[in-house]
Amino acid sequence: KGKRAFIAGVADDNGYGWAIAKSLAAAGAEILVGTWVPALNIFETSLRRGKFDESRVLPDGSLMEITKIYPLDAIYDKLEDVPEDVKSNKRYSGSSKWTVQECAESVKQDFGSIDILVHSLANGPEVSKPLLETSRNGYLAALSASSGSSLSLTYIASERIIPGYGGGMSSAKAALESDTRVLAFEAGRKHRIRVNAISAGPLRSRAAKAIGFIDTMIEYSLANAPLQKELSADEVGNTAAFLASPLASAITGAVIYVDNGLNAMGVGV
């Protein structure tokens, strides 16, 4: 029987979430996605109009099917947590049941259970500000949106200094990696669930473009990484499919680099 995967953080065909969905689909998984509420409309419309058809093609020539798209805002656990101005915001009021708890309940109601949970989202409202100038609200917002889950995407800014990755996003990734270890223990003992993170190299996604230094990071990697090629989202997708598969049955609590080896360098060349 094929596995069922829920991937949170897919709103176009440029990011890691989309590539992970494709790799999992190619391996035979059924795909459910969680899409940020404000991005839901455009994503569904583009998908329906065939805008993503070219990037939906799987290795066997068929098109990836997304069984269901759920609206999601990962910073709210339940309806009571949502402020009035968000509830009444036009971009939110058109959808319902998009808090984490309601979304999980909807998935449970529709499908009973899932086998694979991927967290491929991040949001740091003050990402372009240095940490020194980040407000408490900006910092907490970055942590709130950007940590937690069973397979997640992290960035080396958690452990090394990456100037420009601000607003508490470096802190959020550090929390995410620590949580990966502790959750691996707790969920492993309690439910035999494996919890891992992929520390990915730079990709020109929508989120990364918003930070403002992505082209510099890609150039830096090309110049300095052991493997001198641009990283493709599929390489991260394939690692995610491996980690979610029985081939990785003894891997948990791990942060796996998929970055052309850049993390291993001590100095630039």
Q: Which residues are catalytic?
A: 155, 165
Instruction: Name the segment binding ligand NAI (CB under 6 A); options: 11-19, 85-93, 106-114, 182-190.
Output: 11-19
141 binds ligand NAI (CB under 6 A): no
Nearer to ligand NAI, 88 or 249 (CB): 88
CA neighbours closer than 13 Å in the CB half-sphere of residue 100: 13
Q: For ligand NAI, which residue of 30, 73, 177, 235 counts as binding (CB under 6 A)?
A: 73
Beta carbons of 150 and 116 less than 8 angstroms apart: yes
* Cα 182-27-5 angle, rounded to 5 deg: 45
Q: Which pairing describes strands 255-258 and 116-119: parallel, antiparallel, or unpaired? A: unpaired
Q: What is the number of residues in the chain?
A: 269
Beta carbon of residue 208, minimum distance to ligand NAI (angstroms, whole number) = 4
Q: For ligand NAI, which residue of 47, 72, 142, 195 counts as binding (CB under 6 A)?
A: 72
147 binds ligand NAI (CB under 6 A): no
11 binds ligand NAI (CB under 6 A): yes
Q: For ligand NAI, which residue of 75, 104, 107, 127 counts as binding (CB under 6 A)?
A: 75
Q: For ligand NAI, which residue of 78, 91, 206, 229 counts as binding (CB under 6 A)?
A: 206
Long-range (24+ apart) CB contacts under 8 A made by 235-240 are 236/16, 236/19, 236/20, 236/153, 236/198, 236/200, 236/203, 237/16, 237/19, 237/20, 237/21, 237/22, 237/23, 237/24, 238/23, 239/198, 240/20, 240/23, 240/24, 240/118, 240/151, 240/198
How many residues of this chain interact with ligand NAI, rule: CB under 6 A? 27
203 binds ligand NAI (CB under 6 A): yes
13 binds ligand NAI (CB under 6 A): no
Q: For ligand NAI, which residue of 4, 7, 16, 102 counts as binding (CB under 6 A)?
A: 16
The region, left, alpha or beta by phi > 0 then psi within -120 to 50, assigned to residue 79 is alpha
Q: Which residues are registered as beta bridge partners of 213?
A: none
Instruction: Name the segment binding ligand NAI (CB under 6 A); options: 55-63, 188-196, 198-206, 246-254.
Output: 198-206
Residues contributing to the site for ligand NAI (CB under 6 A) = 9-11, 14-17, 36, 39, 72-75, 120-123, 145, 153, 155, 200, 202-203, 205-208
